Structure 1
């Protein structure tokens, strides 16, 4: 079992100068400064990734979710168009080798605007473009084309008919490049009207992608299954040779004894690690305090 955190290292982001992989810009700046500035920010993000990975290794953290913000406004260009592309390739390859040589698992969780179930062609096209960029970046890092280095998404919509929506997911999955298909996973939701692990088995049985079990989400969308049942079902969808990933967070409302906060909201820290029922998994902790939330649990 490995514990991981997502995207931002708070310790390093408080450094001067700040160490981050989330340098970005508003659309107006992008239009004014163009590709050259996007390239500079992207390269700086890639260089800082190496610093974050080294920090993780030094602190015995073997699991890390990459930011989806490495390349500002990446939907507006191809990575090869960036003036620093060759240097970006070199830096990312170095980062990937560093992770591989130190058994540091890297994954990604592209945002909620990625909607393969959408009935709108433009939304699906944008989703394919964004996921393809993630796949390309993972290839530049030299990461496995397998769910070990997963690219995880939600269905992100029902559109009045859950099964029609899931069928669209499966149809649109076939339009993705292998760099994405081979790494794609899908996660259960935190609203009762959305997708439980039980629902997502329909997608798994059609196209074979693994299901990521989210403990916190399951509390709000259990599909009539216990935590243990849903966890075991999700884990059963993973290739035997790859350690499954689960997501874990705790309720901010509970932590702060504040009923005005949505119970789905994530707490800053966690009090415990989840019950594993004897199953070996890697746990991505989705807490607002990032690496600070898991350090007390690292051996």
Structure 2
């Protein structure tokens, strides 16, 4: 974390950027691993902890577990929809999303959401070349109900081409308005 912070500081963006990490492994006992995470996070210098975000992962820590850690540590939660679908929790996303967005309330920026699509059913965790609109539509409908601005970060093999394709597909949906570039209003 210190190394990453120093890089951000060296290029002059430490105070306006975030270091996004996953909680980590369970090492045979998830509850003890979470306790160690909380203990270790307290060892971080305040200026570094202030720049970190946590992201749910596709195998170990669910959306609900990551949210609980973020709430306890006052860390913004970068929600990853693809990871959520690969590692579902009992709590419905409709109930979790407002609390996820709330973890960003002490910052001056919009919540961040990662989207990607599975490469295939067999390789569900792997990222596809482009974003499958049908895969992310359920998330978009849930998010719309909460009427909260947020930024989407695309994780796909085709990077900008995937972004342009997704923006074109989304802006063709009735009720979605392209404001400028990649900014949409629904």
- Over alpha carbons, which structure has the higher Rg? 1
Q: Deviation of residue 141 (structure 1)?
A: 2.1
Name the residue aligned to 1:111.
none
| 1:139 partnered with 2:5 | no
Q: Deviation of residue 214 (structure 1)?
A: 0.7
Name the residue aligned to 2:128.
267
Q: Which of 172, 175, 198 lines up with 2:40 in the alignment?
A: 172
| 1:280 partnered with 2:145 | no
Which segments of 5 or more consecutive residues in structure 2 lack a partner in the other structure? 168-181
Q: Which of 111, 117, 125 lines up with 1:244 in the alignment?
A: 111
* Residue correspondences, number: 159
SS in 2 for 1:284: strand
Q: Which of 189, 212, 231 lines up with 2:97 in the alignment?
A: 231
Name the residue aligned to 2:56.
188
Matches within 5 A, 1:88-99: none
Consecutive aligned runs of 4 or more in structure 1 exceeding 4 Å deviation: none
Higher relative contact order (CA 8 A, sep 6+): 1
- d(CA) in 2 for partners of 1:152, 1:225: 24
Q: Deviation of residue 179 (structure 1)?
A: 4.1
Q: Deviations over 1:67-98 (max 9, x none)?
A: xxxxxxxxxxxxxxxxxxxxxxxxxxxxxxxx
Write 1 or 2 for the structure with the bigger share of strand: 2
| 1:158 partnered with 2:26 | yes
- d(CA) in 1 for partners of 2:160, 2:45: 32
| 1:199 partnered with 2:65 | yes
Cα RMSD after superposing both structures = 2.0
Which segments of 5 or more consecutive residues in structure 1 lack a partner in the other structure? 1-130, 254-258
Q: Deviation of residue 144 (structure 1)?
A: 4.7
What is the TM-score with the length of structure 2 in the denominator?
A: 0.76
